[in-house]
Amino acid sequence: MEHLSLEVAAAPLRLIATKNEKSRSELGRFLAKQVWTPQDRQCILNTLAQLLLDKDYTILIGRQFRPILLDLLERNAEAIKAGGQVNHDLHERLCVSMSKLIGSHPDVLPFALRYFKDTSPVFQRLFLESSDANPVRYGRRRMKLRDLMEAAYKFLQQEQSVFRELWDWSVCVPLLRSHDTLVRWYTAHCLAVVTCMNEEHKLSFLKKIFNSEELIHFRLRLLEEAQLQDLEKALVLANPEASLWRKEKELQYLQGHLVSADLSSRVTAVCGVVLPGQPPTPGEQASNRSSSHEQELVFSSYVLVESVCKNLQTLAMAVASQNAVLLEGPIGCGKTSLVEHLAAMTGRRKPPELLKVQLGDQTDSKMLLGMYRCTDVPGEFVWQPGTLTQAATKGHWILLEDIDYAPLDVVCGFANFLSLKSIFC
């Protein structure tokens, strides 16, 4: 059986240990060992996950440990909801950490969208402070309000349509009178985005809150932040040594070696790319236990030769970047099985997590996009979404077979969807 192994160089760990006194003794203990046990590797990953929440070390951790960043994020998400109650202190720290990484690491935005679906907004503190419920306890170094509003603004910059509708921004309006100018600055920009102000209205709005010197100062600050963001992207791309896992015939337990079995149960390593797994429903968990042996047989029967690993790696990188993929090749070369294998590795073993559509010259665009159909009530019509629409709205994968045989109107519908990220019927 083959295993995926990542060699974590000792230099980044020593760098982190020298810069952070709290982790110096913890990481130094493992750096002195020649062999890492499974318990040692879990302690190292948990320590790195905790350091990721320290805003002074977030960017450094993300840059040095890019291959396992998604695993570190998932570990923190589990810790926040441990015990059935939300740890608001850790939640705020994770939000700020994600905002610092979201512009330079493609894994962060998809993770943030999944995380915020069933979690409080970045500025949940404002709701808690305005309620009469029991006060929430924070750590000794709780996040500053300016950090939270800066994080909220960065999330808005990445996905305006999502976060504009997802969160209730009305609670932020009183912050326009804050004594902290940075809080007012980021709050004003958030509200300008939420209310869809154009540049003229936005400038008029800002002039009512800030004087001319403050406007010049903060504009220069935004330019400096944009330059630092571009620099961080370049540094991440210029660090290829710690980018991909490699295949091993036998497990390595030497210093600096992590294996795929060390990762969180919420992620999976696919030929060097860490992808989020599809969490099973409670009903599926029982059936998964009985079919685990069958799944092992399926995975072991798929031989990962060099060409398959390269194709799987490319496909996984596209999935991690939230991009659509076009697989081209002769009949029977393994295009469908490649997608099915990747889907199975990420927990998408059956519909609707993975939808398959066979296209042909008789394919109707209404079947894919949707249409109105009549009901038993005369004159009444209801919308029936198509396969592509259902997959797009619910975040499922859709596998379109033989797209080159599809009619022109179907291809045009796909092109509009991929370019505009919306469906027109």
Q: Is the pLDDT of residue 125 over 70?
A: yes
Q: Alpha-carbon distance 116 to 229, whole Å?
A: 23
Q: Mean pLDDT throughout 225-230?
A: 82
Q: What is the pLDDT of residues 150-203, one digit of tens each?
A: 999 999 999 998 999 999 999 999 999 999 999 999 999 999 999 999 999 999
The predicted structure's pLDDT at residue 213: 92
Query: What are the φ/ψ torsions at residue 222 (nearest 5 degrees)?
Result: -65, -40
The predicted structure's pLDDT at residue 145: 93
Q: Is the pLDDT of residue 129 over 70?
A: yes
Distances (CA, A) of 401 to 116, 348, 352: 33, 18, 16
Q: What is the pLDDT of residues 5-21, one digit of tens each?
A: 666 666 777 777 777 77
Could you tell me if 79 and 85 are in contact, meaning their C-beta atoms sit under 8 angstroms apart? no
Q: Mean pLDDT throughout 120-129?
A: 88
The predicted structure's pLDDT at residue 358: 92
Q: What is the pLDDT of residues 348-405, one digit of tens each?
A: 888 888 999 999 988 888 888 888 889 888 889 999 988 888 888 888 899 999 999 9
Q: Is the pLDDT of residue 257 over 80?
A: no
Q: What is the pLDDT of residues 204-224, one digit of tens each?
A: 999 999 999 999 998 898 888
Q: What is the pLDDT of residues 325-352, one digit of tens each?
A: 999 999 888 899 999 999 988 888 888 8
Range from 98-112, 180-194, 286-300 carrying the lowest mean pLDDT: 286-300
Q: Alpha-carbon distance 176 to 170, whole Å?
A: 11
Q: Is the pLDDT of residue 140 over 70?
A: no
Q: Is the pLDDT of residue 225 over 60?
A: yes
